[in-house]
A and B are shown apart, each in its own frame.
Chain A
Amino acid sequence: MFQGYVQIAIFVVVLVALVKPLGIYLARVFQNERVFLTPVVGPIERGAYRLFRVRPEAEGQDWKQYARSLIVFSLLFWLLLYLILRTQGIQPFNPEGFHSGPWDVGFNTTSSFLTNTNWQYYGGETTLTYFAQMAGLAVQNFVSAAVGIAVLAALIRGIVSRSGKSLGNFWQDMVRIILYVLLPISVVGALFLVSQGVIQNLSHSTVIHTLTGGTQILAQGPVASQEVIKELGTNGGGFFNVNSSFPFENPSGLTNFFEMLLILVIPAALTYTYGRMVGSQRQGWAIFAAMFTLFIIGVVVVYMAEQHGSPAQHAAGLNTHAFHGSTGGNMEGKDQRYGIANTSLWAAITTVTSCGAVNGAFESLTGIGGAVPFSNLGFSEVVFGGVGTGLYSMLLYVILAVFIGGLMVGRTPEYLGKKIGAREIKLVSLGVLFTPLAVLLSAGAASATELGKRSLYAGINPTGFSENLYAYLSQANNNGSAWAGYTGFIQPHAPGNVGAFGITFADLLGGAVMVTARYAPILFVLAVAGAMSGKKVSPAGLGTMRTDNPTFVFLLIGIIILVGALTFFPAILLGPISNGLTGRLF
């Protein structure tokens, strides 16, 4: 395990080292300042404004205008993506000759990619044309990420603003985030991934006559260009059904490291951006500290549990101890080149963020190891979280912590000099509680009725319960990872969509949950930003509760755990923890 911890430590060091430089860069992008890419990207940016006919510097939007632009934009993009998924038969870049999939799966997939979830009932390489992957899904990988970051930028502006109601301009934020952040990193990252073995072509799949005279068909496609933004934008939707465990998506220990870094780097750096924009780096580091603490506890727990092996393996007489030349541990659903440590680390990273890409099978995680993804999602994706979404959700918890702290010391709660009033607290509470409520209602509806049963793979036992709960936990939190036995799509004659059909209940419920649990919190967050903007700032006094010291970090962690645990602990107990504690086989 020592070697594994060394690798985890290296990852942490590199991540932390990137927080400040990228954080500063992002702040400069949000504040419309000059950056080193301006000479190249500036003309394209101005061209985009001319094309859109917006003059961003003259068109600051209040929260309602910002929200309206966001909703209209998302609605039109939803329609376009659905159209793309339903017209596969007439598309270019379709060497396999695939036809469209079922309408209900299309509804689910469209909602999934619009909302940065990338929950996948469909299998990429067996159902989608290259055109749909590139011009449909990968576009959303950029756009949904940019929307999340834009909402965060608007919230920060609202918190900081001392006069006026403007939260910035939605169109400008989208253009700048895509052109200055997501696209340049993707171009460089994609080429690096190709150099390491991730495929990037438009060819027909290759039929190979193997060494021993068999036949193997290798799927092809434009993978690297999608892989990089799928991680960077915390999207997570794999080109292949088995996602980043497939060697053409993630061929080596190095690409694995790089991809993990891509997932976490923007959410981590945004805490620094936040500190810079509110004028106190300590505020940013305090939030980072709370996130990092919860993250690293999860990493250690899942790694230890996976290294221990599973009850089924022990009952079968398998020796799960490490020895010379063998990692030991629970290698079911894991690939050799990543081993236990890197599959465990990835599992924690992809669930604290709202990424959801996987490099191993979650359903095969041990009980206690599997409880880590559950808990991370139970914290409503505030521990780093999705790009933008994580920090804006976390700021709701910060305000909640300030409020509760204020009640404890008997003072009017203040955050960064602004008084927190009844309206803000109502909006924050709605924002904090909406997603957990969506999870419990939908998972409850699916597990309490016959309609949900058809999606189960493991049957009626703790693993089956986990499948169902995790499906809605993941979709409502816009994560997208899965206990992958759970399905909403049946494909009897793979590949292609011939004879394939969807499980309508699972597809529609999941799609509806993803959309509402994405946009309702966004509206609450923008409303909070609107309520905070223009508020008077009063200077901090002796009695002001500080929000940048260890006491506050501790309070914040406590409140996150309290809300998450009270909401989900009973349910998680019935799933993975039952598996972990009993050792019984089903």
Chain B
Amino acid sequence: MVQGLRKDLRIAAIAIIAMTVVLGLLYPLAITGVSQVIFPGPANGSKVTVDGKVVGSHLIGQEFKGKAWFHSRPSATEYSGNVTFFGNAGPNSAELREEIREELAAYVKLNKPYDHSLTREGVPVDAVTQSASGVDPDISEANALIQAHRVAAVRHLPLSKVEELISDNTDGRSLGVLGEPGVNVLELNIALDREAPLK
């Protein structure tokens, strides 16, 4: 019994070191090395550049304010890319009811002057709810099409042009079927600013 235990201790001591080296160092470092060579873009965060300067990541949303930009979804983390947490608002939270009420009113107030047909019932859910990641890079197509009226008017662009930019910057479902379509807000705003820069 004691001899068996001693033997187990010996094997286990070697095994935990060997496994830590192989699974904890060799494996991730090899994957890192290979990724850096064959997929350097995605491996380092799918960064997006404008005039040679990095302005963000295709995958990580940013906060946009003001009438001249498409706005991202509400975020619990103010679009933090290095301190992440959930909003954790429960389904029966009275506080959440108030927050959504305010978000709804603000959204209608901001966009209705440019899109007269907009009512509270027409506001898409993603526009007034907090995402899970806090950095959701996308908004729904309905959300983008409502904001298009405002952005087009402020930037003096024809609505059709803005709608074209939206469709250019919509990531459809993967393989045409998986997930939901989303309009990439950062890419859309970059394209928009290229088309009609703010003075």
In the bound complex, residues from chain B placing their C-beta under 8 Å from that of A325 are 124, 140-143, 145
B156 sits at the interface (CB 8 A): no
A214 to B174, CA, bound (A): 31
Shortest Cβ gap from A155 to chain B (Å) = 20
In the bound complex, residues from chain B placing their C-beta under 8 Å from that of A495 are: 82-83
Contact A218 B60, beta carbon cutoff 8 Å: yes
Shortest Cβ gap from B123 to chain A (Å):
7
CB distance from A70 to the nearest CB of B (A): 9
Interface hits, A275-294 → B, CB 8 Å = none
Flag B1-45 by CB within 8 Å of A: 1 or 0 each: 000110011111111101110011101111110111011001111
Asked if B128 CB lies within 8 Å of chain A CBs, one says: yes
A219 touches B82 (CB 8 A): yes
B161 at the binding interface (Cβ < 8 Å): no
User: Which of chain B's residues have a CB closer than 8 A to the CB of A242?
Assistant: 84-86, 132-134
Q: Does A332 contact B (CB under 8 A)?
A: yes
Beyond A178-B23, A583-B92, is A72–B131 a contact (Cβ under 8 Å)?
A: no
B134 to chain A, nearest CB (A): 7
Tell whether, in the assembled complex, residue B85 and residue A65 are in contact, meaning their CB atoms are under 8 Å apart. no
Q: Which of B91-105 contact A (CB under 8 A)?
A: 91-94, 96-101, 104
Q: Which residues of B contact A217 (CB under 8 A)?
A: 80-82
In whole angstroms, how far apart are the Cα atoms of A69 and B13 in the complex?
A: 11
Write out, one digit per residue, whether chain A residues 324-345 have a CB within 8 A of any chain B CB (1) or not (0): 1111111111111111011100
Contact of A186 with B59 at beta-carbon distance under 8 Å, contacts A334-B131, A364-B90 already known: no
Q: Which of A53, A248, A311, A337 contacts B179 (CB 8 A)?
A: A337
Report Cα–Cα, A377/B134, bound state, in Å.
27
- Whether A342 and B179, one on each chain, are in contact in the complex, defined by CB atoms closer than 8 angstroms, is yes
Task: Evaluate whether A135 and B86 lie within 8 angstroms (CB atoms) in the complex, with A190-B31, A210-B56, A313-B100 already known.
Answer: no
CB–CB B88/A240 < 8 A: no
A-B contact number at CB 8 A: 403
Most buried by B among A191, A194, A320, A332: A332
Mask of A119-147 contacts with B, CB within 8 angstroms, 1/0:
00001011000000011101100110000
| CA of A80 to CA of B24, assembled, Å | 13
Give the CA-CA distance A366 to B85 in the complex, in Å: 19
Chain B min CB distance to A185 (Å): 12
Interface residues on B, range: 35 or more
**How distant is the Cα of A336 from the Cα of B142 in the complex, in angstroms?**
12
Do the beta carbons of B5 and A326 come within 8 Å of each other?
no
Q: Does A569 touch B at the CB level, under 8 Å? A: no
Which residue from A125, A136, A214, A494 sits with its C-beta under 8 Å from B62? Answer: A214
Chain A residues near B173 (CB-CB < 8 A) = 253
Q: Are B179 and A310 in contact (CB under 8 A)?
A: no
Contact B179 A339 (CB under 8 A): yes
Please provide the chain B residues from 31 to 71 with a CB less than 8 Å away from any CB of chain A in the complex.
31-32, 34-36, 38-39, 42-47, 50, 53-60, 62-66, 69
Residues of A with C-beta under 8 A to B54? 206, 208-209
For window 198-218 of chain A, which residues contact chain B by CB distance below 8 Å?
Answer: 198-203, 205-206, 208-212, 214, 216-218
Interchain CA distance A191-B28 in the complex, whole Å: 11
Do B65 and A212 touch (CB < 8 A)? yes
A214 to B78, CA, bound (A): 12
Asked whether, in the complex, the Cβ of A312 is within 8 Å of the Cβ of B88, the reply is no
- Which A residues are CB-close (under 8 A) to B84? 123, 125, 240-242, 246
Q: Are A138 and B100 in contact (CB under 8 A)?
A: no
Q: Report which of B44, B85, B97, B180 forms a contact with A201, defined as CB distance below 8 A.
A: B44
Q: Are A336 and B126 in touch, CB under 8 angstroms?
A: yes
Report which residue of B92, B94, B124 has the largest number of chain A beta carbons within 10 angstroms of its beta carbon: B92
Contact check, A191 vs B85: say whether CB atoms are below 8 A apart.
no
**A interface, size bucket:** 35 or more
Residue A434 at the chain B interface, CB threshold 8 Å = no
Are A194 and B59 in touch, CB under 8 angstroms?
Answer: no
Query: In the complex where A72-B9, A178-B23, A364-B91 touch, is A195 in contact with B42 (Cβ < 8 A)?
Result: yes
**Chain B residues closer than 8 Å to A342, beta-carbon distance:** 178-180
A337 touches B138 (CB 8 A): yes
Given contacts A138-B28, A225-B28, A326-B143, contact A462 B92 (CB under 8 A): yes
Is the CB of A390 closer than 8 A to any CB of chain B? Answer: no
A331 touches B125 (CB 8 A): yes
Name the interface residues of A239-254: CB closer than 8 Å to any CB of B.
240-242, 245-248, 251-254
- Find out whether the CB atom of B100 lies under 8 angstroms from the CB atom of A216: no
Interface string of A162-175 (1 = CB under 8 A from B): 00000000010010
CB of A400 closer than 8 Å to a CB of B: no
Q: Which residues of A contact B195 (CB under 8 A)?
A: none
- Which one, A296-304, A355-363, A534-542, is touching chain B? A355-363
In the complex, which of the residues B65, B82, B97, B120 has the most CB atoms of chain A within 10 Å of its own CB atom? B82
- Nearest-neighbor residue (CB-CB) of A494 within chain B: B83
Chain B residue nearest to A366 in the complex (CB): B91
A460 at the interface (CB under 8 A from B): no
Determine which of A123, A225, A313, A458 lies in contact with B32 in the assembled complex, contact meaning CB atoms within 8 Å.
Answer: A225
Residue in A closest to B83 when the chains form the complex, CB atoms:
A494
Write the nearest CB–CB distance from B120 to chain A, whole angstroms. Answer: 6
Closest Cβ–Cβ distance, residue B54 to chain A (whole Å) = 6
* Contact A200 B180, beta carbon cutoff 8 Å: no
CB distance from B79 to the nearest CB of A (A): 6
Q: In whole angstroms, how far apart are the Cα atoms of A327 and B141 in the complex?
A: 10
Chain A CB within 8 A of B169 CB: no
Q: Which of A199, A310, A358, A363 contacts B45 (CB 8 A)?
A: A199
Q: What are some 17 contacts across the A-B interface (CB < 8 A)?
A: A76-B13, A136-B24, A139-B23, A195-B39, A214-B62, A218-B81, A247-B57, A251-B46, A253-B180, A256-B179, A330-B91, A334-B129, A335-B136, A337-B171, A364-B86, A484-B85, A585-B94
Query: Which 9 interchain pairs have the tightest Cβ spacing?
Result: A253-B179, A325-B142, A135-B24, A339-B180, A254-B174, A326-B124, A463-B90, A325-B141, A310-B91
- Seen from chain A, the residues whose Cβ lies within 8 Å of a Cβ on chain B are 6-7, 10, 48, 51-54, 65, 68-69, 72-73, 75-77, 80, 123, 125-126, 134-136, 138-139, 142-143, 171, 174, 178, 183, 186-187, 190-191, 194-203, 205-206, 208-212, 214, 216-220, 222, 224-226, 240-242, 245-248, 251-254, 256-257, 309-313, 315-320, 323-339, 341-343, 358-361, 363-367, 370, 457-458, 461-463, 466, 483-485, 494-495, 579-580, 582-586
Query: In the complex, given contacts A123-B83, A317-B104, what are 18 additional A-B residue pairs having Cβ atoms less than 8 angstroms apart?
Result: A7-B177, A52-B18, A53-B14, A54-B11, A72-B9, A134-B29, A142-B19, A201-B43, A242-B84, A247-B59, A251-B59, A253-B173, A312-B96, A336-B131, A337-B136, A364-B88, A458-B88, A463-B92
